[in-house]
A and B are shown apart, each in its own frame.
Chain A
Amino acid sequence: MNNFHYTKASSVDEAVLAGKGAENYFIAGGTNLLDLWKYDLTHPQKMVDVNGIEELKTITELPNGGLRLGALVTNNTTAYHPLVEARYPLLSRTILAGATAQIRNSATNGGNLLQRTRCYYFYDPASPCNKRNPGSGCPAVEGQNRLHAILGFSDKCIATFPSDMCVALAALEAVVRVTGPNGSREIAFADFHRLPGDRPELDNTLGQDELITAIDLPPRGYAEHHNYLKLRDRNSYAFALVSVATGYELEAGMIANARIALGGVAHIPWRVEAAETYLEGKAPTEASFAGAADLILAGAQGFEHNAFKIELARRTIVRSGMMALDPSCQRPGAPPSL
């Protein structure tokens, strides 16, 4: 490891001040950053340890009936928090579908939003990668691309965003609160992550000097009808090939409003509002969800090793929609196709 500066911040203002600079990094749980560092993929000059900022470690109710998740609350603490379990069980389920208990005990909410892709080529410093080394090329397009995108990719990058938690946050229309040298601002979740386009090195719209302070959940939590279905190459500790978060509200047996977000298929959690509008007024049937799936997957395109994901995603959307009818049958840790 090369030498670097290390400083501990005890307030948001202190952290933002210390964090100014291109190769300065905030560190919280460190579950992804330390790996990137050890593997010679990132080269921090200064590490600003934000773990001492107590004000970011709380979960509080908002006046509008929503919930504010402190950026430094760990993933596990969030998943098992009584208010989250009661009002946002979809969020609990997505968090617990990710990583391992050990990782979730260290990983924080803010950090979860900022994890890097798991593309094999991104993790190999000797390999070209437009995300790591802009302009060097993308071997995944014609290489091993099982984990890769079928939607929203560009010719520069076909990587996927690996988070499970963020799939629920997208469906719930969370708001990301950030603070930087120029003050604080709020970013709608749909605007937080970005498609690769010509700048695959940019995963999101967070400013270089900005620190995530909290994630606000709107009042609507879809506690009655929700599901997270994650399909992966083994039953734990694997990233999603396809995952679907579904939430809807029923009125007189018909869908009043719906949210569907997909993980494992794009550079961002994938949401198509037209598909959600399509479901309004329809009965929660396989046919309805199949119709929504067609809208969500419009334009999907596979590569040599991931073309199966298109059909798999279609079926998973339908299954997740049907499973959301009765969330009580979904035991944590149960095999995914229960």
Chain B
Amino acid sequence: MKLPVQEIVDKYKNNIYAAAFSICANAGDAEDVVQDTLLQYYMTHTNFDNEEHIRAWLLRVAINKALNIQRSFWHRHKVPLEDYMETLSFETPESRDLFAEVMKLPEKYRAVVHLFYYEDYSIREISQILKTSESNVKVRLSRARAMLKESLKEDWLDE
């Protein structure tokens, strides 16, 4: 099966953007990732099993593209994260602090954290999306949680 591109845009554009931003920390690069990912979907001949398969594919492609941008010399000027955050409408100061502290985590931790807490994927599913071992995902998630607990104190609960 394959859903129309317009339906993908309506349903997943912001999920792709958020996943890309969580790695790039840069709106311009994240927008480029969204566009390239949608284009990749438009071009792909993959026969998806179901919509969940499509969602995982979109996030994997977006994360790979975001990581490729990060590793490349070819990335555009960065707008300082603080400046970009000034343009975002956080509901509460706690939300803003959480966002800021997550973005301070090492890049490889952010991808795992985002897929776990925002996209509700299990450790096994994240290992498949990121093509790494479950133990590696567990280690990164555990270290990220410890860092967030250290910085956010009571606003991040022990799990």
Answer yes or no: are A and B bound together in one complex: no
